[in-house]
Amino acid sequence: MDMKPLDRVLADDGLPLASDLRETVERWLRAMASGRGASDHTLAAYERDARQFLDWLKGDLSHAPCLADLRHVNAKRVRAFLASRRRQGVGSRTLARSLSALRTFFRWLEREEILRNRALLQVASPKVPHGIPKPLPVDKAAAVTVPQQPGEDWVAARDAAVLLLLYGSGLRISEALGITRREAPMTGVEVLRITGKGDKERMVPVLPITQEAVSRYVALCPFPLEPDDALFRGAKGGPLSPRIIQLEMQRLREALGLPETATPHALRHSFATHLLSSGADLRQIQELLGHASLSTTQVYTQVDRDRLLAVYDKAHPRA
């Protein structure tokens, strides 16, 4: 992640910190980037959560906080911070994420022998309702992932290839856009090696229709594609931004009358749900999605409840 120094970020927000705390928070973020391999998105969230807490703490203390102030943060003060965020309309999921980020920070402080304060362990995380994935119906997913038609330009070919990777291989958008030219799943490449969250590697199948779409895009792309460069390019030749694919999905929602839940990530949900509906084993789906825990994958059984009940009725001796 190309992070600007945290002191400049905080200065942008008018939040002065004592130099020892400013340097420590920046060290923490860099440690998360290098040691744990946190994604750009995760690092940005850590940075934002730390900034919000320190901003609140500055107001509560009436002075720029320093490391010594963190040593004396107690559970009551943490709860007051969460309550203030709640009054601003922040939901439980965001509050839980903020608390998790702060716990990560304080655990790192203890591990680095900078200070020891376990007050955050006394604060219960807000209860977060389990969201159920909202996949597209099979026919709608097929309509979204139509291969580029003859005569269409390279941008249409690119978008079609990316969407087919999301639905056909169950990739996250960051994973699809992280593919290099060397790794391009072109015609004849039936399996793709993906490094997902937590640097977890997995092998995913690539449908023939996806292979053809990628080959078509590569043939039409007007920019030189070096082996280690990003496969998918933006209009000016740089790596393709996820925002462009999100805007393409927005266009397709309007054109096809799809719900607001029809996002690039919904294609990954559709991949998992449609496999489950067709009889795929939950463990296999876990491997294909790159989930560390089976419990994460089990959420798709709630989406496909009707099929599971039908299997039960058919298979159980007393049904």
Catalytic residue set: 172, 197, 265, 268, 291, 300
**Residues 264/246, Cβ–Cβ less than 8 Å:** yes
Buried b (16+ CB within 10 A) or exposed e, 135-169: bbeeebbeebbebbeeeeebbbbbbbbbbbbbbbb
**Residues 136/229, Cβ–Cβ less than 8 Å:** no
Structure tokens at 12: 């942008």
Beta bridge partners of 204: 192
The number of beta carbons lying within 10 Å of the beta carbon of residue 8 is 10
Report the C-alpha dihedral over residues 103, 107, 112, 115, rounded to 10 degrees: 80
Quick one: 94 exposed, middle or buried, by C-beta within 10 A (0-12, 13-18, 19+)? middle
Q: Decide: helix, strand or coil at residue 202.
A: strand
Q: Decide: helix, strand or coil at residue 114.
A: coil
Residues ≥6 apart with Cβ < 8 Å to 152: none
Within the chain, strands assigned E span 191-195, 201-205
